[in-house]
Structure 1
Amino acid sequence: MQHLSVARPARAILLGSAGLLLSGCSLFQSSAPQAPLPASATLPDATISYTLTGQGSMPVVFQSDLGDGKDAWDSVLPLAEQQYRVLAYDRPGYGASRKTATPRDPCTIAAQQHAMLAQAGVKPPYVLVGHGMGGLYQYVYARLYPQEVAGLVLLDPTHPDHWRRMQSDAPTSAMAIKARRKLMFTSIETVEFDAQAQCLQHIDLKTPLRMPTMLLVRDKFGIEELGSVETLVRSQEKDWQRMTGAPAIERITGAGHYIQKDNPVIVNEAIKMVVKKK
C-alpha cells in the first residue's frame, strides 16, 4: 500500500469532521479545463442542481461536508475530469438547489443521490468521494446500494457516533458547537446536523465493506481541538478503518480538515488507486 503523504500548509477554524472545520484552499489548474454542464434533476421530493463533466467510463460522484456546496471540490475536479466522468452536486438547501421539506438524515440523502444519478443517466458502478458529513452519506450509500459502488474515497469523514461522543468526551468543544449551531448555522445546516445519526440504527455498522476504500485523514488540528477532540477523532479514525475495511489510515501531512483544498493532487491519486483495485 502506497502511503499518501505530501506536506502542504493549511489554515482552519472550528467546525468539521471532528466538529466541522473550514479551511484554506489551493487551486490546481488543468491544462485543458472543461466547462461544467449545468443541469438539474427534478425528483418527487427535491430539485437537485449538479454538474456532469469529464471523460472515461468510470463515474466519480462527489459529496460535500455540512455547510458546503459542490464548489468545495473546485480544486479537485479539473484533474479528475480528465480521467473520469465526474458528477458534483448541491444538496437541497445549498448552492443552486432549493430547500426541501424532506428529512435530512443520511439514508434519505443517500436515496436522493441514488434517484438523482438515475435521472442524470449516470450508470453504476460509481466511485463515491465524500468529505466530512458527506463521507458519512457516501458510506451509507455504499451500505444501501452496495451493488452500485465500485469503491470509496473518504476524506476526514464524520463518524456515525461522533456528535454523541463529543458531548460526553469533549464537552467544552460540544458547547462551542452548540453555540455556533444556534447563532451561525443556516436552517438547512441545522436540520442536517440534528439528523446526522438518524436512521443509522438500520445500517450495518459492524461488517466491513467489501469494496476498495481509501481513508484519508487530516494531519493538523486547530488549537481549540487539541486534547480531547483530537483524541476522540483519532480513535474514530481507527473505527472507520474497521467499518470500511480500508487497508490503512492515510494521514495527509500538512493537511487540515479540508484535505481536498490543502492537497487536491493526493485526493486524485486516491481516486486512481481505488479505480485500479475495483
Structure 2
Amino acid sequence: MSAVERWTRRVALAAAGLTVIALGTGASYEAALRHRATRAYPVRGRLVDIGGRRLQLDCRGAGSPTVVLESGLDHLGSLAWATVHDSIARTTRVCAYSRAGILWSDAAPGPFDAERIPRDLHAALAAAGERGPWVLVGHSLGGPYVTLFTHAYPSEVAGLVLVDASHPAQFARYFEITGRSMKPPTGMVAFGSALAWTGLVRLVAGGDAPADWPTDAVATASAYLPTSLDELHAETAAIDATLAAEARARVLGDRPLVVLTAAAEMSAERLAAEGVTRAEGARMQAAWKTLQDDEATWSRESRHEMVRDASHYVQFDRPDVVIGAVREVVARVRGTRASVAR
C-alpha cells in the first residue's frame, strides 16, 4: 500500500468516525428535545385508548350534534382548528383530534390504509364516551377522510362541512393543465422521516410556517414534527388510494352540506413554489372551482361558498366563515330533528 493510499484510508476512517460521532450527538440531542417537548407542550385534551394505542382527542363545549374536526395533510393535527375550536364550542360539543402518529397520538401498526382513519376516529369517540349524531368538518385531505367516515357509519353522520377539501379528480385535472404531476412530493418527507432520529429535521425545518398562522399551534406542532413525519409520509404516499376510495364513497344523500372554497388569487410565492406560470395558476384555480362545485352535488341539501380572501387554510384566514358554516349545519341538523319529533 502506497503512502497516498494509506493517507486516503486514514482520512476515510477519520471521516467515518466523525460522522458516527456527529450522528450520535445528533441522536442524543433529538432524544433530549423529544423528552422536553412532552413537558413544554403537554397533551391538549386527553389520550384515548383504542385497543393498545392512544389517540389525542380534545373535546369542548356541550350540546348536540357533536362537531368533529378532521385536519388535512400536515403536522398540525388537532391544532389545525385552533382559531375556530372555542368559538364552535360556544354553540355545541366539538372535538378535534390528531390522527395516528401525529403530535401526541401513537403510531398505528402496519401499512397505511385510508379506511383505518374512520375506524380509529370512531373508536376514539366511543372510548371517550362522546355521542353522535356527528357533524363532520374536513379540511383538505380531511375531506376524503370525513367522506369515508360517512360511508362507514352512515346512520351516525347528520351533516358535513368541507373546507377547501381534496377532490378525487384534482391531480388528473392539474396534470392536464401543467403537463406534470402536482401531487405532494414524497421524497423530502421520506428523507426527513428516515433521518428524524438524528436531529437534522429540527435544524432545517424551522421558520417555514406562514407568519399569520397561530404561533402557539406552530410551536407545538414543530416540537413534535420529527415524530409526525412517519405518518405524513405514509399518508402522502397513499394519496392516490385515498382519493380513489373517496370517489367510491361520495354519495352523501340529503345531509346538510356546506362546501367552502379558498378563492384568493395565487400569490407570486405560491406560483413559484408550485412551479407554475400565472396563466397556469389561473387555470388551476378555475379547475378547482369546478371540482368544488362538483363536491357540492354530493348532497341534495348543499351550499357552496367561494371565500375570496382566503388561501388554502380557510380556518386561519377567515375563521369566521368556517365558524358560520359549522353553526349553519348544526342549526339545520337541529331543525330537522325537531321537525321529525313533532
Q: Quick check: 1:187 aligned with 2:230?
A: yes
- Which residue is equivalent to 1:12? none
- 1:232-267 deviation per Cα after TM superposition (whole angstroms, max 9, x unaligned): 322211221122445332011201100111111111
Q: Check whether the contact 2:44–2:56 (CA below 8 A) recurs between aligned residues.
A: no
- Which residue is equivalent to 2:97? 89
1:140-159 to 2 correspondences below 5 Å: 140-159=148-167
Percent sequence identity over matched residues?
Answer: 28
Q: 1:45 to 1:152 in 2, by over 3 A?
A: farther
Q: Check whether the contact 1:91–1:97 (CA below 8 A) recurs between aligned residues.
A: yes
- Which residue is equivalent to 1:229? 284
- Which residue is equivalent to 1:16? none
Larger RCO: 1 or 2 (CA < 8 Å, sep 6+):
1
Superposition deviation, residue 73 in structure 1: 0.6
**What is the distance in 2 between the residues matched to 1:178 and 1:168?**
21
Work out which of the residue numbers 314, 318, 327 in structure 2 matches 1:259.
Answer: 314
- 1:36-95 deviation per Cα after TM superposition (whole angstroms, max 9, x unaligned): 972122123641011111122321111101113111111001211111111111111111
Size of the aligned set, in residue pairs, is 243
- 1:206-255 deviation per Cα after TM superposition (whole angstroms, max 9, x unaligned): 64432000100101234416144323322211221122445332011201
**What is the distance in 2 between the residues matched to 1:241 and 1:161?**
14
Q: Secondary structure at the match of 2:255?
A: coil
Work out which of the residue numbers 181, 200, 211 in structure 1 matches 2:255.
Answer: 211
- Which residue is equivalent to 1:51? 58
**What is the distance in 2 between the residues matched to 1:268 and 1:107?**
28
Q: 1:132 to 1:219 in 2, by over 3 A?
A: same
Q: Check whether the contact 2:64–2:133 (CA below 8 A) recurs between aligned residues.
A: no
Q: Check whether the contact 1:106–1:197 (CA below 8 A) recurs between aligned residues.
A: no
Q: Check whether the contact 2:88–2:327 (CA below 8 A) recurs between aligned residues.
A: no
**What is the distance in 1 between the residues matched to 2:131 and 2:318?**
29
Farther-moved stretch of structure 1 (196-205 vs 253-262):
196-205
Work out which of the residue numbers 63, 73, 80 in structure 1 matches 2:81.
Answer: 73
Q: Quick check: 1:40 aligned with 2:62?
A: no
Work out which of the residue numbers 118, 121, 144 in structure 2 matches 1:110.
Answer: 118
Gap runs ≥5 in structure 1: 1-35
Work out which of the residue numbers 139, 144, 161 in structure 1 matches 2:147.
Answer: 139
Superposition deviation, residue 96 in structure 1: 0.6
**What is the distance in 2 between the residues matched to 1:247 and 1:227?**
26
Gap runs ≥5 in structure 2: 1-42, 194-228, 275-280, 334-342
Letter in 2 for 1:188: E
**What is the distance in 2 between the residues matched to 1:269 and 1:202?**
26
**What is the distance in 2 between the residues matched to 1:51 and 1:208?**
26
Q: Check whether the contact 1:92–1:98 (CA below 8 A) recurs between aligned residues.
A: yes
**What is the distance in 1 between the residues matched to 2:116 and 2:153?**
13
**What is the distance in 1 between the residues matched to 2:49 and 2:285?**
41
Q: 1:104 to 1:245 in 2, by over 3 A?
A: farther
**What is the distance in 2 between the residues matched to 1:128 and 1:176?**
25
Q: Check whether the contact 1:209–1:245 (CA below 8 A) recurs between aligned residues.
A: yes
Superposition deviation, residue 150 in structure 1: 1.2
Letter in 2 for 1:42: D
Letter in 1 for 2:88: A
- Which residue is equivalent to 2:210? none
Q: Check whether the contact 1:143–1:204 (CA below 8 A) recurs between aligned residues.
A: no
